[in-house]
Structure 1
């Protein structure tokens, strides 16, 4: 077991994830929503959750900004801190998936290696990567929080897409062109993929 903790062992409990599937009447997994700031990640995740709620699917959203108000509030925006941000979020998401909850993560998560490390802690088929594709100039034009403007003025260092890299997914399960369709259409596209690939079915 990795980490600095000594003299510990993993304690198994009797109620399993698959028993929770039976109780919930659906499977659980993580939707890992990645993309540039202002690409539409949180808005699309919100609409996905609303549509799943209408179907009695148990969900939760782990939003990057919200997590930085609590769990990850001690982290900055260096590449090391960004990697730790992804690691902590993925571990929290795994706990929620094990609890039977469809977990929607909205995180820039700019480095491909960090997203692959996140994928590796889940069982096969439990990690669904969603790339919200939106050109940088469109994101800058939207700029709802004024972050791109501040980055261009040098007031924010290491800002993804401007002064820090973003490595887009090479083979995401779902590719969403958020600048070509509405939020609702993007959410429907994501849910259609999940239905087509039987992600909710407990009969597999």
Structure 2
């Protein structure tokens, strides 16, 4: 399902794993594995519109025409929860570069705070995919993309597992036309800025710090 620049990835395996992610009884180990599985399944859709160029390849039989990616891919997991999606995407795109960025949400103001600046990475002439399991208020996503744009990134997309309608609206308002891929759009945010029904804090649940 597509709506403007937002793609909702509908797949039976994703639906199954997402249901298990939501279950409060799911252990941290299971939680990480489920996110890894979802990331692999999402990667094909997230990269469906990557630019390619014609090339020639020598098979064991004869020379043939082929297609190859036109530019490098950079994955930017937002620490720490974004780490849970990284290996899944790398399984699909092993040649990708990984550039981490550390932003956390202030639980009082709900605003993002930078605690790990992105190291020097050349984002020019590349495709950048930001990874974060949750899109709640979108404050972290908006700030991450702003930082990446200041560093020269032009072709940016955002991939998450669950989003709140409020977060999608805010992200689209801040970055019109930004490609966003999501496995599920939930009902709303609660008064504390958490997605409902959601799955809780993805980072805490993945790393056992609940």
What is the TM-score normalised by the length of structure 2? 0.31
- Report the structure, 1 or 2, having the larger strand content: 2
Scaled by the length of structure 1, what TM-score is found? 0.32
Larger relative CO (CA 8 A, sep 6+): 1 or 2?
Answer: 1
